[in-house]
Structure 1
Amino acid sequence: MSAVATSTAAGSIAARIERLPNSRWHAKVRTVIGAVTFFEAFDQLLTASTLPVLSRQWHLSTGQGTTIITSSSVGMLLGAVAAGWLGDRIGRVRTVALGVLVTALASIAVAVSPGYALFLAFRFVQGLGIGGVVPVAATYINEIARADRRGRFVLMYELIFPAGLAVATLVASWVVPAYGWRLLFVIGALPALLVASLQRQVPESPRWLLSRGRAEDAERVLAAIEREVEQSTGDTLPAPAADTAADDARGGLRDLFTGRYLRRTVVVSALWFVAYYVNHGISSWLPSLYTKTFGLSLHTALDYTLLSNVTGLLGCLAVALLVDRLGRRLALTAGLGGAAVALFVLALSGAGSGGQVAVLASLTTLFVYATNVSLYLYTPELYPTRSRALGSAFGGVWNRLGIIVGPIVVGAVLDGGGSLATVFTELGCVAVVGAVIALFAVETKGRTLEQLNS
């Protein structure tokens, strides 16, 4: 197909997607992808919930605890790189299905690990799957959403991720004290049951199919989607708009660092790093801080951690409802700025009790979780279809670096005799830097993916 024909076809495909009203088809696809994402989130924080028990059972030092926390994060980093490349070459749906299978099988292996070394190894492998699924799934959801309501559509789907984190903590607070940590990872293997349904119920992205030169497949898939939408709504679809621009057809890693994409990549990478540095600098250590520093029971520690995840979920809901009005730039700036204020208040208060830390840490997560989900919406918007999954995954690399470095720095401060006030001050300063960087973000609200990249 010639470049002109490809551009014309891309414009047609985009215009037809833009005219689709929300329907049962959208609900079905978002539910299936959402179920997968839920379990990926569930699996992500299991180590933090089990670390207090593992530390006692295997007599772990603070350094070994840090290694356990970061082992899956290193796997997520590498998994994000591989999945970004695969997602732009073999398809969004196949890549997500592969990542889910890896996550589930590795979770079983973690559950039967006899000791520290094999636990680390299998948790690393599990991280490969988790890191691969999340950015590619977000890319897919972006590609089936309409521009005028893409923010709410994507972020209402993304709510499932903090919900998974909250449920993981809730389940852990019941399962770990009563049945031990291994059952938690057995539960984490349940997404294996979703692989067949995912590939059967979720069609490949028409935008991706066309970007790979598969115009007939894109037409066939989109026509089937249109029929299902018409059947579910009972109405004939309106004519597609004639002025939907097509994005450029360039693809590959080089795209992320040339022309206007260089600024986008630098800004969004920094935001990913800062947001997850702050997030995991707090969340990975909270259960252990509650038990070791304040002498609370494991059950109370996990309940306090659950409170932080619930407020984080509320923050995600708030930004989902407001982001199409506020815009991406303001949402990101306010999210990191609010987190910084909460952290500074926590530092100035002296962090004198577990309850005080729980309340102010929960206020922090309200803002930082809202920032995190906004980045899953924002990043895929910044790149053309042929390199969109790779661009999202590259953001995921900086996400994982933040996840790795944040807990390491916090662990080093605590291991070196630093106070909690020092920890929270340092995290607050990092959040301030992120809020300033967010001011330079390109605004994307209300524009189609093609208009943003043509």
Structure 2
Amino acid sequence: MSIAATPEVTQRDIAARLERLPMSRWQVSIRLIIGIVTFFEAFDQLLIAYTLPVIGREWHMTTASSTATLTIGSIGMLLGALASGWAADRIGRVKVITLCVAVTALCSLAMTLCTALLPFLILRFVQGLAIGGEVPTAAAYIAEISRARRRGRFVLMYEIVFPAGLAVGALVAAWVIPHWGWRPLFALAAIPGLAAVLLQLRIPESPRWLAAHGHTEKAEATMALIERRVEESLGRPLPPPAVSTAVPEAAPSKRSSFRDLFAGRYRRRTLMVWTIWFVGYLANYGITSWLPTLYKGSFHLSIGQALWYSTATSVAGLVGCLIAALVVDKLGRRIVLAAGLGGTTAMLVVLGALGAGTPLQLLVWSSLAAMFNFAVNVCLYLYTPELYPTRSRALGVSLGGVLNRFGLILGPILVGALYAGGSGLASVFLVLGGICFVGALVAGFFAEETKGRTLEEVSP
């Protein structure tokens, strides 16, 4: 099959050829390889929280140095998310993902050799850059190889691996550290370095990205390779592609810029989705980061009990992610986002009204809030790539990740300030509920529905 030489025609043709691909082992294997990588990126992200008590004693760290150790990685992730979007829209998705995976693994391995704080902090910052860069770029890539039909389930079943990686990281750390210390844990986290080889050998560049940047011959060769692998997997020839007249020809390719995200129809989309990113993660980390402290400080539970109660809330969040994956293609993105934030609001208001007077109340209602809230946050990694054209998709997703990081940083600060100021647990949850209510209104009134539509139809 030949492809016309102009980038405009090529992009529409590539979209039609991707749309006609049935689900096969090829798509599942791609999702599995990138999912393994993302799982270990999440594993790496959480390690510092569980190893800090041991490292702090070993290196005689002060409160200030402990704070620096916790925050330096988040700063790196914020900057990495910003830089990766710019890079992935210029040099390609797979190159950026591969580089981020390799850097994350090398930093983990190098950290096992550290005997002082300064080199550890430098490595943690660089690793943060890589972790912050991989996650949004991978989300853009997975969206670009998906067809419109059931794209929501396909993408979200991949995205669930990140919260799963966080949960497994906590369990592995609890088992490894008491027996062997913190260094073997970072050595284990270097495993994804091997996946960098798999990425280069098995993962083709996004044909949508190649076509959008005028690499028509590479786009044709990559698309033909994908079609051949799908045919081999299915054992039958593919149906002919049907270019829908509902899919407009893409705009002429140009380099992405921050300005693109506020041009025309994208201004409203950007402001809307940034608000939801910020609110969703402010509520998420405002609740989950303080739960162990609240259980221990307000209810005088042992640290072991506090951690198990907090883990139960994280598991409830995973259930919410799974539910979102199963219903997002039926209900649509707007309903999942609005209902998720509305449900989070309701659970937090109930918890505030009850006064969070017992550990059981806090466990039940915070877990229900997490179930709704996690569903929103995982859905954002599906929804945001759909809102932007290929030329600026990675930048759009990465800037959503930047707002995510701002919420992640400010949520615990807000809860800490309210709690330390003597407002009481009821006030803490009522304030968070009010913030989520604003997010629910934004999602309900301003979110544009994208289910069942090709990426080119949503964002030409």
Q: TM-score, normalised by structure 1?
A: 0.92
**CA–CA distance in structure 2, aligned partners of residues 121 and 293 of structure 1:** 36
**CA–CA distance in structure 2, aligned partners of residues 36 and 445 of structure 1:** 27
Match of 2:373 in 1: 368
Structure 1 residue 21 corresponds to structure 2 residue 22: yes
Match of 1:260 in 2: 265
Give the residue type in structure 1 aligned to 2:149: D
Give the residue type in structure 2 aligned to 1:313: L
Q: CA deviation at 1:329?
A: 0.7
Give the residue type in structure 1 aligned to 2:388: Y
SS in 2 for 1:45: helix
Identity of aligned residues (%): 56
Q: Which digits, 9 at most, give the CA deviation of each residue in 1:150-171, with x for residues without a partner?
A: 1111111111112112211222
Structure 1 residue 85 corresponds to structure 2 residue 81: no
Q: CA deviation at 1:431?
A: 1.1
Match of 1:444 in 2: 450
Structure 1 residue 434 corresponds to structure 2 residue 439: yes
Q: Structure 1 residues 129 and 425 mapped into 2: Cα distance closer, same or farther (>3 Å)?
A: same
Q: CA deviation at 1:148?
A: 1.6
Give the residue type in structure 1 aligned to 2:248: A
Match of 1:304 in 2: 309
Please show how residues 65-84 of structure 1 align to structure 2 within 5 Å.
67-84=68-85
**CA–CA distance in structure 2, aligned partners of residues 110 and 354 of structure 1:** 38
Please show how residues 15-414 of structure 1 align to structure 2 within 5 Å.
15-50=16-51, 61=63, 67-111=68-112, 113-114=114-115, 119-243=120-244, 244-248=247-251, 249-253=253-257, 254-414=259-419
Residues 255, 261 of structure 1: 8 Å contact kept? yes
Residues 70, 407 of structure 1: 8 Å contact kept? no
Q: Which digits, 9 at most, give the CA deviation of each residue in 1:316-344, with x for residues without a partner?
A: 11111101111111100111111122222
**CA–CA distance in structure 2, aligned partners of residues 351 and 75 of structure 1:** 35
Gaps of 5+ in 2: none
Give the residue type in structure 1 aligned to 2:457: Q
Q: Which digits, 9 at most, give the CA deviation of each residue in 1:198-218, with x for residues without a partner?
A: 111111000001111110001
Q: CA deviation at 1:279?
A: 0.9
SS in 2 for 1:146: coil
Gaps of 5+ in 1: none
Residues 150, 452 of structure 2: 8 Å contact kept? yes
SS in 1 for 2:99: helix
Number of residue equivalences: 451
Residues 247, 385 of structure 1: 8 Å contact kept? no
SS in 2 for 1:445: coil
SS in 1 for 2:237: coil
Q: Structure 1 residues 115 and 337 mapped into 2: Cα distance closer, same or farther (>3 Å)?
A: farther
**CA–CA distance in structure 1, aligned partners of residues 353 and 199 of structure 2:** 48
Q: Which digits, 9 at most, give the CA deviation of each residue in 1:276-306, with x for residues without a partner?
A: 1111112223334444544444433332232
Q: Which digits, 9 at most, give the CA deviation of each residue in 1:307-365, with x for residues without a partner?
A: 12211111111111101111111100111111122222222333334444233222221
SS in 2 for 1:412: helix
**CA–CA distance in structure 1, aligned partners of residues 216 and 276 of structure 2:** 36
**CA–CA distance in structure 1, aligned partners of residues 331 and 374 of structure 2:** 17
Residues 7, 213 of structure 2: 8 Å contact kept? no
What value does the CA root-mean-square deviation take over the aligned residues? 2.3
Q: Which digits, 9 at most, give the CA deviation of each residue in 1:400-434, with x for residues without a partner?
A: 11111112222333444443333222222211111
Residues 272, 375 of structure 1: 8 Å contact kept? yes
**CA–CA distance in structure 1, aligned partners of residues 117 and 346 of structure 2:** 38
Q: TM-score, normalised by structure 2?
A: 0.91
**CA–CA distance in structure 2, aligned partners of residues 216 and 320 of structure 1:** 35
**CA–CA distance in structure 2, aligned partners of residues 343 and 68 of structure 1:** 31
